């Protein structure tokens, strides 16, 4: 029993006969008749009662029809899932730590309300590992710091972040003496590269680099005078200890960084497009910092 035979069977039932079904399917009548005879042979039962030129469903045909409809519908759902056209199923999303903490809570809540059939799997990492995971197919999409140039990826700007260097309140990292410690994520973090470039532009060389796993940990260490860090100003606005920090702006060409939603060209387009629309709507409701 082939799926194509079930499609022909359902069309014959809906059309009310071989002739009309052949017209709908753009086939000759003999082909439709042959497909129905083959299906009956495969199942070992007559599906139609033939009365002159007319056809009515036999008991076996009545029993088969709901199964045929379910199988045809399930096959179409499978095609949509593979092509990414379905608004149901899993969506594996990677994101930077700062984006997850500040930008995503309200949009993701709205996303879950609007698309309850999409099962979201959220993972955090730095920009370069996230891009690699998307390209390997381990993630369907990721929120990363732009720019990114890769012909294998589609991209859409969803946020713009203002980056600042965070230092202890009243402290100048290049004039107060003592060693300079950078508090950053591991290599592969786009913001880490920006901080290292900024420090080098000041003619300074850091004495130590401490890799950390969270921005709140970095902020606590900056407040305690351990070192300096770079992060979006939107993240600092929600930090309870912000009074113990000073913010040093970066030049606009390096301090304003787009957050991009990226995905492979073969990714689940419908689910990703739905997510992008929710994220962009959140940006319009809450101005970027």
- Categorize the per-residue pLDDT at 53 as very low, low, confident or very high, splitting at 50, 70 and 90: low
What mean pLDDT do residues 234-258 have? 90
> Domain ranges in the chain?
3-83, 89-158+259-285, 161-255
What is the per-residue pLDDT across 89-131, written as a single tens digit (0 to 9) for each? Answer: 788 999 999 999 999 999 999 999 999 988 899 999 999 999 9
Question: Is 52 or 62 the better-scoring residue by pLDDT?
Answer: 62
pLDDT, position 284: 64
CA atoms within 13 A on the CB side of 15: 18
What is the per-residue pLDDT across 261-283, written as a single tens digit (0 to 9) for each? Answer: 999 886 678 889 999 999 998 87
Q: In angstroms, what is the C-alpha Rg of the chain? A: 30
For residue 62, give both structure tokens: 């009545």
Q: Which residue has the tokens 């698309």?
A: 115
What mean pLDDT do residues 27-38 have? 91
Q: How far apart are CA 99 and CA 259, in angstroms?
A: 8
Res 85 pLDDT > 50? yes
Do you find a cis peptide bond into 147, omega within 30 degrees of 0? Answer: yes
Percent of the chain with pLDDT over 70: 92
pLDDT, position 288: 40
The β-bridge partners of 164 are 231, 249
What is the per-residue pLDDT across 150-172, written as a single tens digit (0 to 9) for each? Answer: 988 999 999 999 999 999 998 87
Least confident residue range of 51-65, 137-151, 195-209: 51-65
For residue 182, give both structure tokens: 């950078």
Q: How many CB atoms sit inside 10 A of residue 37's CB? A: 12
Q: DSSP letters along 84-144, please?
A: T--SSEEEEEEE-HHIIIIISHHHHHHHHHH-TTEEEEEEE--HHHHHHHHHHTS-SEEEE
Please give the distance of CA 196 from its chain centroid, rounded to a whole number. Answer: 30
The correct answer on CATH 3.30.460.20 for the domain covering 161-255 is no
CB 179 within 8 A of CB 208: yes
Q: How many CB atoms sit inside 10 A of residue 154's CB? A: 16
Q: Which residues fall within 8 angstroms of residue 116, CB to CB, at 6 or more apart?
A: none
pLDDT, position 171: 82
CB 159 within 8 A of CB 279: yes
- Categorize the per-residue pLDDT at 287 as very low, low, confident or very high, splitting at 50, 70 and 90: very low
pLDDT, position 279: 94
For residue 38, give both structure tokens: 């083959």
Res 8 pLDDT > 50? yes
- Nearest residue to 88 via CA among 116, 114, 118: 118
Quote the Cα angle for 198-159-143, to 5°: 85
Res 2 pLDDT > 60? yes
Note the CATH architecture for domain 89-158+259-285.
Answer: 3-Layer(aba) Sandwich (3.40)
CB 207 within 8 A of CB 181: yes
What is the reported pTM? 0.69
CB burial of residue 67 (10 Å; 0-12, 13-18, 19+):
exposed
Q: How far apart are CA 47 and CA 36, in angstroms?
A: 8
CB burial of residue 277 (10 Å; 0-12, 13-18, 19+):
middle
CATH domain 3-83 topology = Arc Repressor Mutant, subunit A (1.10.10)
Mean pLDDT of the chain: 88
Helix-, strand-, coil-residue percentages of the chain, each rounded to 5: 45, 25, 30
**DSSP-based three-state secondary structure for 221:** helix
Res 9 pLDDT > 70? yes
Percent of the chain with pLDDT over 90: 54
What is the per-residue pLDDT across 13-31, written as a single tens digit (0 to 9) for each? Answer: 888 888 888 888 888 999 9
Give yes or no on whether 89-158+259-285 and 161-255 have one common fold: yes
């Amino acid at each position: 029993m082939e799926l194509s035979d079930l499609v022909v069977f359902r069309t014959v039932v809906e059309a009310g006969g071989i002739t009309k079904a052949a017209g709908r399917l753009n086939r000759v009548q003999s082909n439709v008749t042959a497909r129905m005879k083959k299906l009956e042979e495969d199942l070992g039962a007559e599906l139609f009662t033939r009365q002159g030129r007319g056809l009515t469903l036999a008991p076996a045909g009545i029993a088969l029809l709901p199964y045929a409809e379910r199988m045809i519908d399930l096959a179409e759902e499978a095609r949509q899932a593979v092509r990414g056209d379905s608004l149901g199923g899993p969506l594996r999303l990677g994101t930077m730590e700062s984006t997850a903490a500040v930008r995503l809570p309200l949009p993701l809540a709205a996303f879950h309300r609007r698309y309850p059939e999409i099962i979201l799997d959220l993972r955090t990492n730095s920009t370069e590992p996230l891009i690699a995971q998307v390209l390997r197919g381990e993630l369907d999409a990721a929120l990363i710091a732009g720019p990114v140039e890769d012909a294998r990826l589609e991209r859409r700007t969803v946020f713009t972040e203002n980056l600042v260097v965070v230092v202890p309140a009243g402290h100048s990292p290049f004039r107060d003496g003592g060693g300079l410690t950078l508090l950053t994520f591991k290599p592969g973090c786009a913001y880490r590269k920006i901080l290292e470039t900024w420090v080098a532009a000041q003619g300074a060389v850091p004495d130590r680099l401490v890799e950390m796993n969270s921005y709140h940990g970095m902020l606590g260490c900056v407040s305690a005078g351990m070192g300096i860090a770079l992060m979006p100003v939107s993240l600092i606005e929600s930090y309870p200890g912000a009074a113990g920090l000073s913010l040093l702006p970066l030049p606009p060409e390096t301090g304003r960084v787009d957050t991009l939603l990226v995905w492979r060209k073969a990714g689940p387009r419908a689910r990703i497009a739905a997510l992008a629309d929710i994220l962009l709507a959140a940006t319009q409701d809450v101005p970027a910092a």
